[in-house]
């Protein structure tokens, strides 16, 4: 009896620890769009250019009063793949319609021009008010897998919504199995031209480095970019499946005294975390040299069932946030502390609201934004569209880490 009483107290304490860290800001049974008018929406449905059940939000980013959401073209019927919510107009709306960015015309696949957007997964707004969009170039991923073009970067001026540059990743930096999905941007506001993008090729097991100033890229290979065969088994939302996804999560530390950052990275099908200095990645000669192997370091292991899609560092607190897809949760680690089990905190977990946290970002006000989308159920089973399937959650970093080992 005494042991049962103690167990009950511990379970209650765990529930309390998870409560109130993240609040639900938006939620959808199905996502919808801000069409020009009712007739345009009806025509899109009739022509099957809009199939509501095929639209699922994946990537998130916050810039000023815009909350960006990517809706990759997993299947046909996605009318707009890069969108935003106007936070000034959606405060009282639980399920706002998505607004195509920068306009509807950019999402028309029949327009074969440089401004066309096909299917991005991850995006990043930098300190110089630019939006970096990593486009996979693939339509109907789960169906015909229509490769419309090679993957490329689109870079927008967020103040004018104008396309600044389009850079198609050259075939020399890709493999026959390449699929790019995540991008982080290394930049300081004092020098907007000296920017680098680091791109994860999760199925080709490589990092592609892009220099904005030189307008060129190079491919970096390493054993640490591959998946762990013992960590490829998942059970999410009662759906069991196996993935072989390699390097996916990329996060950058604040700038060190030497002028470089530490990149924290991990394959998705792995429980290990690794590091490398951006001094290595930025130096093309050194980065592609096989002798740079030992510049990449094993940081440690997060533990059983801790596979993660993505991670991000809040610079003021030096806290790294990362998803926990096999545990329906979000965790944190203070990068100033040892990478040990005691310092890795699962601060929020819920088998309803946090089923497959796909992406997260910390905005300039140190608020954490998370998008959850039940992706494995969408891919391998059937979503219940009478239920809430997609959510955006938010929490202030200072409140999240308060009274935890992340503080």
Q: Is 13 within the bounds of a domain?
A: no
Q: Is 150 within the bounds of a domain?
A: yes
Digit-coded pLDDT (tens) for 93-138: 999 999 999 999 999 999 888 899 999 999 999 999 999 999 999 9
Digit-coded pLDDT (tens) for 280-320: 999 999 999 999 999 999 999 999 999 999 999 999 999 99
Which pLDDT score is estimated for 190?
85
Q: In 119-161, where do the E strands start and end? A: 120-125, 130-135, 138-139, 146-147, 152-157
What is the distance between the alpha carbons of residues 23 and 255, in angstroms, rounded to a whole number?
A: 31
Give the residues across from 206 on adjacent strands: 201, 221
Q: In what order do the strands lie in the sheet with 367-372?
A: 23-28, 390-396, 367-372, 357-362
Domain of residue 336, residue span? 22-401
Q: Is 8 within the bounds of a domain?
A: no
Give the residues across from 236 on adjacent strands: 239
Digit-coded pLDDT (tens) for 34-50: 999 999 999 999 999 99
Q: What is the pTM of this model?
A: 0.94
Q: Please state the domain count of the chain.
A: 1
What is the distance between the alpha carbons of residues 251 and 391, in angstroms, rounded to a whole number?
A: 23
Q: Is 68 within the bounds of a domain?
A: yes
Q: Is 406 within the bounds of a domain?
A: no
Give the CATH number of the domain where residue 227 resides: 2.120.10.30
């Amino acid at each position: 009896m005494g042991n049962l009483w103690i167990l009950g107290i511990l379970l209650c304490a765990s529930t309390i620890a998870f409560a109130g860290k993240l609040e639900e800001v938006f939620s959808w049974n199905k996502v919808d769009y801000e069409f020009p008018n009712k007739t345009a929406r009806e025509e899109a449905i009739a022509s099957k250019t809009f199939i509501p059940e095929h639209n699922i939000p994946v990537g998130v980013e916050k810039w000023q009063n815009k909350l960006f959401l990517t809706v990759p073209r997993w299947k046909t019927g996605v009318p707009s793949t890069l969108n935003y919510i106007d936070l000034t107009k959606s405060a009282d709306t639980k399920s706002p319609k998505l607004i195509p960015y920068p306009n509807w015309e950019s999402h028309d696949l029949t327009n074969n021009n440089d401004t066309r957007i096909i299917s991005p997964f991850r995006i990043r707004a930098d300190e110089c008010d630019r939006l970096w969009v990593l486009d996979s170039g693939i339509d109907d991923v789960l169906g015909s897998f229509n490769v419309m073009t090679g993957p490329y970067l689109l870079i927008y001026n967020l103040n004018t919504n104008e396309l600044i540059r389009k850079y198609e990743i050259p075939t020399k930096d890709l493999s026959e199995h390449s699929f790019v999905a995540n991008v982080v941007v290394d930049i300081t506001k004092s020098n907007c031209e000296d920017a680098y993008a680091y791109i994860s090729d999760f199925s080709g097991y490589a990092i592609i480095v892009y220099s904005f100033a030189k307008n060129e890229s190079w491919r970096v290979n390493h054993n640490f970019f591959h998946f762990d065969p013992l960590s490829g088994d998942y059970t999410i939302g009662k759906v069991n499946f196996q993935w072989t996804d390699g390097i996916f999560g990329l996060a950058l530390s604040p700038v060190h005294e030497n002028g470089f950052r530490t990149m924290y990275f991990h394959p998705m099908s792995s429980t290990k975390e690794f590091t490398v200095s951006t001094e290595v990645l930025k130096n093309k000669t050194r980065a592609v040299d096989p002798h740079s192997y030992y510049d990449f370091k094993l940081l440690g292991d997060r533990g059983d069932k801790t596979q993660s899609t993505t991670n991000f560092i809040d610079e003021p607190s030096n806290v790294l946030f990362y998803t926990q897809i096999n545990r329906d949760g979000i965790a944190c680690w203070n990068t100033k502390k040892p990478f040990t089990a005691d310092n890795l905190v699962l601060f929020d977990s819920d088998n309803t609201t946090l089923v497959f946290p796909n992406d997260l970002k910390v905005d300039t006000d140190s608020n954490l934004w998370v998008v959850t989308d039940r992706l494995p159920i969408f891919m391998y089973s059937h979503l219940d569209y009478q239920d809430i399937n997609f959510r955006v959650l938010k929490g202030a970093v200072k409140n999240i880490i308060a009274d935890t080992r992340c503080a």
